[in-house]
């Protein structure tokens, strides 16, 4: 009889409060062992796994548990240490590794943690493989935990820096000031160092991780912190990463916050003008602003819409051969960066695109519709179509919005929350309808 609860992989791997299932020691040892068994089925020489973390206090013991499981399956572990998720993914792809594991809960608070698993080609593990790991984790008979042994792989981060240097051979930021907010997470050392390597004068914000301050009022979820820094230092750009660095939100030299939709509009138009936008398609999720659709429609570019999640964006980009795609939240994927979401890479690409000009001018063609998003904590997640009061309010809101607005109502894939989003040309109508619907959801389902 298994002593652990069945594992449920979300849209971004396993995630939860550190110490509680599935992020408890026994579950994690079994996950490591299950991954090891899956890798050994591939045959070949002894398999190697590259592991990194975003600096949370719980990361060391989680690493130990995963390694104990991997060792039980005769798989060796190589510790990259503090790093970003994209650095881990790209190094796993370009090194002698069968898989990569990132210990991170991304934008979640410090008391949470998670496990993101990547295949040897740097892509996130597929749903079938995740299901097999979940099955094996329940079926395996756990061995007595042994002393975890890892090999130090921190020097590999230099290869990631070399990779970025090779992708921007003409980028020279000498004389330009760039502010970077690493959310006290995985990019705290890496991001400033790489920007300085391109010649930038770097202002560091939230680049001092202590294990407990990750995402705490800083980073991609709180770009307002960066606005004053950019203005204060006369910076060309502010780059706001989330805890594991796979998303980026930006602040231009005027202090205007620019999210993933701004970036998709800019590069969709830029690539189309150069004849480099395969199929005339940009991939975005249901959360993207109507203004993005209008901006790209004007130049004959179609927005292919997917469900939320960078994995869904990745799959659609592969299917359509799209050059760029992403999420409003700041996950942006480029074909020329191996479809790996990387907030720092996106920032470098912005700086490379504008040259010596102002960043704000590059975003001029994008006009955002007023949008309001409310996250309602919920006690459970029934099918929203089965909640009569919620459906009645949805019908009313959609009627009032008409063709010049839209409504999106969905549960978070990683948190006990229901996301209520409304867009409309009229800002006051947008705010009122969103709040009214959120009130109904809170009354019916609220925690």
Tell me the catalytic residues: 106
Q: Is 229 in contact with 180 (CB distance < 8 Å)?
A: no
DSSP secondary structure letters along 21-75: TTSSHHHHHHHHHHHHHHHHTT-SS--EEEEEE---TTHHHHHHHHHHHHHHTT-
Axis-axis angle for helices 59-72, 25-40 (nearest 10)? 40
CA distance 251 to 177: 13
Question: Looking at beta carbons, which pairs linking 3-8 to residues 24 or more positions away fall under 8 Å?
Answer: 4/30, 4/137, 4/138, 6/134, 6/138, 7/31, 7/133, 7/134, 7/137, 7/138, 8/134
DSSP secondary structure letters along 61-108: HHHHHHHHHHHHTT-EEEEEEE--HHHHHHHHHHTT-SEEEEE--TTS
Of 287, 289, 341, the residue nearest 314 (C-alpha): 341
Question: Looking at beta carbons, which pairs linking 58-63 to residues 24 or more positions away fall under 8 Å?
Answer: 58/18, 58/19, 58/23, 58/113, 59/103, 59/113, 59/211, 61/25, 62/18, 62/23, 62/28, 62/103, 62/113, 62/115, 63/103, 63/148, 63/150
């Amino acid at each position: 009889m298994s002593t652990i609860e069945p594992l449920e992989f979300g849209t971004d791997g396993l995630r939860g409060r550190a110490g509680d299932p599935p992020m408890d020691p026994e579950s994690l040892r079994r996950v490591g062992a299950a991954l090891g068994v899956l890798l050994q089925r591939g045959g070949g020489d002894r398999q190697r796994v590259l592991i990194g973390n975003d600096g949370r206090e719980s990361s060391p013991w989680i690493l130990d548990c995963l390694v104990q499981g991997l060792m039980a399956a005769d798989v060796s572990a190589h510790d990259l240490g503090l790093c970003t998720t994209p650095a881990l993914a790209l190094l796993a792809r370009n090194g002698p590794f069968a898989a990569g594991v990132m210990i991170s809960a991304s934008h979640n608070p410090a008391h949470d943690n998670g496990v993101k698993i990547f295949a040897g080609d740097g892509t996130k593990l597929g749903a079938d493989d995740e299901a097999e790991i979940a099955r094996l984790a329940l079926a395996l008979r756990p061995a007595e935990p042994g002393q975890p042994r890892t090999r130090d792989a921190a020097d590999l981060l230099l290869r990631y820096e070399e990779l970025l240097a090779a992708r921007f051979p003409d980028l020279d930021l000498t004389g330009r000031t760039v502010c970077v907010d690493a959310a006290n997470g995985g990019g705290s050392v890496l991001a400033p160092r790489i920007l300085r390597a391109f010649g930038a004068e770097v202002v560091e914000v939230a680049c001092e991780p202590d294990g407990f301050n990750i995402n705490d009022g800083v980073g991609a979820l709180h770009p307002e912190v960066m606005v004053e820094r950019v203005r204060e230092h006369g910076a060309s750009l502010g780059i706001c990463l989330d805890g594991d660095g796979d998303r980026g939100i930006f602040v231009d030299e005027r202090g205007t916050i620019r999210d993933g939709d701004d970036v998709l509009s800019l590069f969709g138009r830029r690539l189309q003008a150069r004849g480099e936008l395969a199929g005339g398609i940009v991939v975005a999720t249901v959360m993207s602003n109507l203004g993005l659709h209008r901006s790209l429609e004007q130049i004959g570019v179609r927005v292919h819409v997917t469900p939320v999640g960078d994995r869904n964006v990745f799959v659609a980009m592969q299917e359509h051969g799209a050059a760029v795609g992403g999420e409003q939240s700041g996950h942006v994927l480029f074909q020329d960066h191996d479809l790996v979401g990387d907030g720092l890479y996106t920032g470098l690409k912005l700086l490379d695109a504008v040259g010596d000009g102002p960043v704000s001018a590059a975003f001029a063609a994008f006009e955002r519709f007023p949008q309001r998003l409310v996250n309602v904590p919920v006690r459970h997640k029934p099918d929203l179509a089965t909640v009569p009061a919620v459906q009645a309010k949805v019908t009313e809101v959609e009627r009032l919005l008409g063709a010049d607005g839209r409504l999106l109502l969905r549960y978070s894939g990683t948190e006990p929350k229901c996301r209520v989003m409304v867009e409309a040309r009229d800002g006051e109508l947008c705010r009122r309808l969103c709040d009214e619907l959120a009130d109904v959801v809170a009354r019916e389902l609220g925690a």
